[in-house]
Amino acid sequence: MERGKQLDTVTHALLGYAVYAATKQRDWSKKERIGYAATAIVASELPDIEGFTEVISQEAYLTWHRAITHSYLATPVLALLTVGIVILFNRSIRFKTAFGLALLALVVHISFDLFNTWGTGIWEPLSSERYSLGFLPIIDVVILLAFVTAFLLRRRFDSIRVFRTFWAVILLYVAAQGIQGAALASEVRTQVSNPDYVTFQASFVPTQFQLVAREGDRFLYYQGSLWTGITPLGEEQDNRKAHTSAVKEALKDGEVQALVRFLPDYGVNVEETDADWKVTIFDPRFGRNFRGLLTSEVIVPK
């Protein structure tokens, strides 16, 4: 998990540089170029400043992770903060240009977080709901390879055109991923009699998706692509209705409350012993094989 976070940070930094490289002007001095590149990269990293809350507690992390710092409404403030930080070290940049560059890099960061499965509070503080589209995995090899290719080609060809082509390719790729995911979700709906919803998340392998359908108290899991079709992986029961009193007590736990606020929906598994109930609140989107990603367990005494 820690490695994934580090790679995600690297991806955002690379996208920030790509924003700068696609918008830079040929008449900028070397010092200006350094300043504007720093502006785009700092802005691309700034929304993740809330990551320090993980050392406080899981509850604090779930409450603040991808919250106000990942809101489109907060981007002007974050852009101002970015420019202020960079100007402390490089006074050659022009405010208007730097502010626009920072704003664009912030929008790119938030949008690409929205494209993956983890929830993002894009309308905080007006709405605390976390939105996710599931088009992209958290670490996307296509984006990384496209960036490496553009970076290697930048000296052989016109750098600005290379990175503008990079962005055109990435936007087409994101659109293609979204279309594929939506088509697979539609196929799942034809196989499930009356689903409450169907969600999908992109696998680390391009064009491959994992899907989950909720049907009453059941979560039905699938995987596949447009080329191979979908394959059922199994199902899991949400047994909250069988243990309502234990679940009600578990939902009073602060970490559980933060997790429930973070998720668009949650599943419940209850294991009973002679002395207590072990109540597990989990994110059904990640399936049984990745239960540790967004999970909270509470022991409720009898």
- The string of pLDDT tens digits covering residues 222-247 is 999 999 999 999 888 888 887 888 88
Residue 6, pLDDT score: 45
pLDDT higher than 70, residue 287: no
Give yes or no for a contact between 243 and 279, defined as CB atoms under 8 angstroms apart. Answer: yes
SS3 content of the chain, % helix, strand, coil (to 5): 55, 15, 25
Q: What percentage of the chain reaches a pLDDT higher than 70?
A: 95
The arithmetic mean of pLDDT across residues 13-26, rounded, is 93
Q: What percentage of the chain reaches a pLDDT higher than 90?
A: 57
> Rounded to two decimals, what is the model's pTM?
0.89
pLDDT higher than 90, residue 29: yes
Residue 4, pLDDT score: 45
Residue 292, pLDDT score: 54
135-154 CB burial, b ≥16 within 10 A, e <16:
bbbbbbebbeebbeebbebb
Note the pLDDT tens digit of each residue in 247-275: 899 999 888 888 888 787 888 988 888 88
Instruction: Give the up-direction half-sphere exposure of residue 230: CA atoms within 13 A in the CB hemisphere.
Output: 26
pLDDT higher than 80, residue 2: no
pLDDT-based confidence at 172, cuts 50/70/90? very high
Lowest mean pLDDT among 101-115, 235-249, 288-302: 288-302
Output 138 or 122, whichever has higher pLDDT.
122
pLDDT higher than 90, residue 129: no
Mean pLDDT of the chain: 89
Q: Which among 96, 59, 169, 134 has a CA at the least distance from the CA of 285?
A: 134
Give yes or no for a contact between 209 and 192, defined as CB atoms under 8 angstroms apart. Answer: no
Beta strands in 52-193 (DSSP E): none
